Amino acid sequence: MKLYSIMIFFKKLKKNIFLNFFNTILSLVILLTTLLVCLNTFRWFIFNADWRVVTSNLSLYAFGSFPSDEQWRPAIWITSLLLLSIITLCGPCWKWIQQNLLLAWMSTIPLGLYLLYGGFGLSPIMSRHLGGLTLTILLTVCSSLLSLPFGIVLALGRQSSLPLIQKLSSIYIDVMRAIPLIAVLFFGQLLIPLFLPVGIEIDRVWRAIFAFTLFVSAYIAEDIRGGLQSIPNTQIEAAHSLGLNQYQIMQLIIIPQALRIALPALTNQAIGLFQNTSLMAILGLVELLGIGRSILANPEFIGQYIEVYVWLACVYWLVCTIMAILARHLEQTMTINQTNF
Amino acid sequence: MKRSRKIFLQFGIFIIVFSLIGILINNLTINLIRTGLGFNFNWLLKPASFALAEHALPYSTSDSYAWALLIGWLNSLKVIVSSLLLATLLGTVIGFARTGSNSLLGLISAGYITIIRQTPLLLQLMFWYFIGFLGLKENVLISIKNIFKISNQGIELTGLTFSSEFSALLFGLGVFTSAYIAEVIRGGILSVPRGQWEAFRSLGLSEQTGLIKIIIPQALPAIIPGLTSQYLNLAKNSTLAIAVGYSDIYAINDTIINQTGRAIECFIILLTSFLFLNLLISNSMEIINKIIINSKKYN
């Protein structure tokens, strides 16, 4: 039995890799180069790289300049997010866990805000002390949550039969999609204070979240519009014939289906948003990449670009991959639910 | 809904939106008067008095802001077009490698795509700039007589020199976009039904002829829209040039705002220049699309 499977493996290998002369040469060259690259990387990784720049600054990467005796607060938040991801992915499928999972995910947001900003018994922390991975996650979570309802409204507006609403939301979406994100963020930092009445001020972090929301909601609107357009008209007619009114049709029939169809695109937007929070590094926030830059500016670690950037790339890659796996899991459970109908 | 109710609803939303805009503009004017800036474009003709490392047209510090902006726009166009070509080339190769029969090659290109797509572009740009070009210790990486040279001064190709900022941006944008283009191309090739492959094989055509004559012409209509949106993304992403110190249109706007404080005017200028860039890209892609569709018709 074992021998047989090995034979199949070699047959497949022959078919896939050593198909003809050209392919054989190509495969050998690739194997050799990969081996060389891996060996060199491994050697650098173990012997040449000086990982003190990472290991001695771990708390900076995670929490930024958060007061050191309060760092358990963001730590609890990040750990709870991680635990929840693990439970979602490979936890036991007891019914009460499955039912309360969504609630648990929703409750991480107020929990995070409470833990980070303090108040009600915890000492209050200013936004400027936030940094590192904590700030990156905060920016991602808050902006994606705020932009979802805004995006839905814009998408419905663009699909609307009322010409004025349709025009207004189309203009907003098209203009927002035409300008680069960094411009939106930069002018968000500069212009939001100018548009506010004298005396009211928003701090940098929330200005960034607001700018991200304005930008991302235009993209989300287009994704949801795709979902809206793929719902057949018969659904609406069926709902009408059941005697539902306009708002019930929207709330119960159209939006849930459109969101389910748009889900893969929406999760891609969330992953993109997580990566794009790094742009705030050039606009003066010390999120993950910003912390990396400020550590590199420290004379003790000057010139250790490779170590820091490789480490940051690993962190970003890891979080993005976790998000992608969660998204795929969500899609699968959604399709399972749909077949149960 | 009844007609009267529709009109009423629209009227209500019109009033809400415009009163909101009115409040914002009112706040803006108050704030502009408070800071003593006002709103005009007269400053465009004043001398810019900042130096630009790279300029396609003659430029000196005594030239006007408007001229500096034009130089920036041309710099943007230069980096967009060249990294667009690089990205298309790389993306096509990787896309074909991903769909090809050699599974080893497919595995490697899949790895390339995930690594590139799951890390932020800004990080990759800094990687290319600080490690790829400025980090070259012995100053020269490759040097083939006087024809081709890569050093920490940039790339030199038979007399043509590209600064290290431009080269880092070119490689960063090109490699990043190529991963997305590879996925677009893979999607396009997979959209051609398997029967087509079997059909040309059964007709006795070789793999290459079949690919060029049968598969690619059918995949192109599915590829072009995806390519267009990737090109538009590339144009928008090119504004990250500021991170490596390349003076593109956004970086020059940034400098002007720091010098003069005219954020609103610069925002309008940036907006119009990007609308123009987007129109340029989407219109040329539309022309290419038409050419492809027409060529199919007459064959």
Cβ distance of A305 and B130 shorter than 8 Å: yes
Rounded Cα distance, A26 and A126, in Å: 57
Chain B contact set for A26 (CB, 8 A): 102, 105
Residue B37: closest CA among chain A residues belongs to which residue?
Answer: A194
Q: What is the dihedral of CA A139, A141, A143, A146, to 10 degrees?
A: -150
Least-confidence region, from A127-131, A145-149, B15-19: A127-131
Q: Which secondary-structure segment (H or E) carries B144?
A: strand B140-144
CB contact under 8 A, B123 and A278: yes
Least confident stretch, A172-176, B29-33, B80-84, B219-223: B29-33
pLDDT at residue A339 in the model = 55
- The predicted-structure confidence for A156-166, as pLDDT tens digits, reads as follows 999 888 888 88
Least confident residue range of A104-108, A278-282, B113-117? A104-108
Distance of CA B225 to the CA centre of its chain: 15
Q: For residues A56 and B17, what is the distance between their CA atoms, to the nearest angstrom?
A: 52
Q: Which residues have CB under 8 Å from A302's CB, separation 6+? A: A296
- Considering only CB atoms, B239 lies closest to which of A180, A281, A320, namely A180
Pairs of CB atoms within 8 A across A/B: 134
Measure CA of the first residue to CA of the last residue in chain B; give whole Å.
51
Q: Cβ-count burial of A197 within 10 angstroms (0-12 exposed, 13-18 middle, 19+ buried)?
A: exposed
- Chain A positions touching B6 (Cβ under 8 A) are 161-162
The residue count of chain A comes to 341
CA nearest to B241, candidates A182, A281, A304: A182
Average pLDDT over residues B198-217: 88
8 Å CB contact between A76 and A115:
yes
Residue A28 lies in a domain: yes
Tell me the shortest Cα–Cα distance from B92 to chain A, in angstroms: 18
Same domain, A8 and A153: no
- For B104, the closest of A30, A278, A279 (CB atoms) is A30
Inter-chain CB proximity B274 and A324 less than 8 Å: no
DSSP state of A197: P
- Both tokens of B197, joined, read 């492959």
Can you state the percent helix, strand and coil of chain A, rounding each to 5? Answer: 85, 0, 15
Q: pLDDT tier at A341 (50, 70, 90 boundaries)?
A: very low
Tell which B residues from 237 to 296 touch A, by Cβ distance under 8 Å: 237-240, 242-243, 250, 254, 257, 263-264, 267, 270-271, 274-275, 278
Residue from the list B30, B126, B250 with its beta carbon closest to the beta carbon of A309: B126
Which chain A residues have a beta carbon less than 8 Å from that of B34? 198
- In angstroms, the separation between the Cα of residue A291 and the nearest Cα of chain B is 12
Please determine, for residue A123, whether its predicted confidence score (pLDDT) is greater than 90. no
Q: Grade residue A56 by pLDDT with cuts at 50, 70 and 90.
A: confident
Q: What is the CA angle A235-A240-A246, rounded to 5?
A: 100
Same domain as A265, residue A164: yes
The three-state (H, E, C) secondary structure of A112-130, written as one string: HHHHHHCECCECCCCHHHC
User: Which domain, by its residues, includes A16?
Assistant: 1-33
Separation of alpha carbons A134 and A226, rounded Å: 33
What is the CATH number for B279?
A: 1.10.3720.10
Q: Does residue B17 surpass a pLDDT of 90?
A: no
Of the candidates B42, B71, B119, which has an alpha carbon nearest to the alpha carbon of residue B247? B71
Number of domains forming the structure of chain B: 1
Distance from CA of A199 to the nearest CA of B (A): 11
Instruction: State the nearest Cα–Cα gap between A164 and chain B, in angstroms.
Output: 6
> Helices B103-117 & A21-43, crossing angle to 10 degrees?
40
Instruction: Say yes or no: A239 and A130 in one domain.
Output: yes
Q: Which of B104, B126, B250 lies closest to A180 in CB terms?
A: B250
- The CA distance from A118 to the nearest CA of chain B, in Å, is 31
**Which residue of chain B is at minimal alpha-carbon distance from A165?**
B10
Is residue B50 situated within a structural domain?
no
Does residue B139 have a pLDDT over 70? Answer: no
CB contact, 8 Å: A324 with chain B?
Answer: yes
Q: Are B244 and B129 in contact (CB under 8 A)?
A: yes
Domain presence at residue B138 = no
Whether residue A187 sits in one domain with residue A330: yes
Each residue's pLDDT tens digit, B88-103: 999 999 999 888 877 8
This prediction has a pTM of 0.87
Residue A334 in contact with partner chain B when CB distance is under 8 A: no
**A103 has a chain B CB within 8 A of its CB:** no
- Number of helices (H), then strands (E), belonging to chain A: the values are 15, 0
B13 contacts in chain A (CB < 8 Å): 164-165, 168
Kindly list the residues from chain A whose CB atom is less than 8 angstroms away from the CB atom of residue B243. Answer: 282
Comparing CA positions, the residue from B178, B176, B180 lying closest to residue B237 is B176
Q: At which residue do the structure tokens 């007589």 appear?
A: B145
Token pair for A339: 């077949």
**Claim to verify: residue A273 and residue A147 sit in the same structural domain:** yes
Inside any domain, residue B86 = yes
In this structure, the strands spanning B160-163 and B154-157 are antiparallel
Closest residue by Cα to residue A202 from A214, A212, A189: A189
CA B248 to CA B119: how far, in whole Å? 23
Residues of chain B found within 8 Å of residue A181, distances taken between Cβ atoms: 236
Residue B192: inside a domain, yes or no?
A: yes
Give the model confidence (pLDDT) of A198-255 as tens digits: 777 888 899 999 999 999 999 999 999 988 888 888 888 898 899 888 888 888 888 8
State the Cα–Cα distance between residues A322 and A26, nearest whole angstrom: 34
Q: Residue A333's pLDDT band (boundaries 50, 70, 90)?
A: confident
| Structural domain boundaries, residue B97 | 68-120+164-298
Residue B56: phi and psi, rounded to 5, are -80, -35
Cβ of residue A26 closer than 8 Å to a chain B Cβ: yes
Same domain (yes/no): A4, A133:
no
Closest residue, chain B, to A289 (C-alpha):
B123
Cα gap A100→A336, rounded to integer Å: 18
Number of domains forming the structure of chain A:
2
- Average of per-residue pLDDT values in chain B: 86
For residue A191, give the nearest of B6, B237, B267 by CB distance: B267
Task: Tell me whether residue B158 is in a domain.
Answer: no
**Domain contains B26:** no
Contacts 24+ apart (CB under 8 A), B274-283: B274/A178, B274/A179, B274/A180, B274/A183, B274/B235, B274/B236, B275/A178, B277/B76, B277/B77, B277/B80, B277/B235, B278/A178, B278/B232, B278/B235, B281/B228, B281/B231, B281/B232, B281/B235, B282/B228, B282/B232
CB A228 within 8 A of CB A220: no
Output the six-digit token pair for B275: 């609308």
CA distances from A242 to A236, A253, A319, A338, B23 (A): 10, 12, 45, 21, 44
Q: How far apart are CA A12 and CA B129, in angstroms?
A: 42
Is A159 part of any domain? yes
Model confidence over B148-200: pLDDT tens digits? 777 777 777 777 778 888 989 999 999 999 999 999 999 999 999 989 989 99
Residue A67 reports pLDDT greater than 90: no
Question: Rounded to the nearest 5°, which phi and psi values hold at B61?
Answer: -65, -15
What are the φ and ψ backbone dihedral angles of A49, each rounded to 5 degrees? -75, 145
Report the CATH number at residue A326.
1.10.3720.10
Give how far A97 is from chain B: nearest CA, Å: 30
The yes-or-no verdict on residue A178 having pLDDT over 70 is yes
Q: Within a domain: residue A23? A: yes
Q: Determine contact, residues A143/A215, Cβ cutoff 8 Å.
A: no
Cross-strand partners of B143: B149
Identify which of B280, B259, B281, B222 has the alpha carbon closest to the alpha carbon of residue B68. Answer: B259
Distance from CA of A113 to the nearest CA of B (A): 25
Measure CB to CB from residue A162 to each of B10, B103, B267 and give the nearest one.
Answer: B10
Task: List strands edge to edge, sheet with B154-157.
Answer: B140-144, B148-151, B154-157, B160-163
Contact A321 B118 (CB under 8 A): yes
B159 CA: distance to closest CA in chain A (Å)? 31
The confidence score (pLDDT) of residue B140 equals 63
B262/B67 Cα distance (integer angstroms): 17
Alpha-carbon span B43 to B250, nearest angstrom: 18
> Hunting for tokens 């007269």 — which residue is that?
B42
Q: What is the pLDDT of residue B172?
A: 94
Among chain B residues, CA nearest to A292: B123
For A12-30, write each residue's pLDDT tens digit. Answer: 777 666 667 777 888 888 8
The amino acid sitting at A203 is D
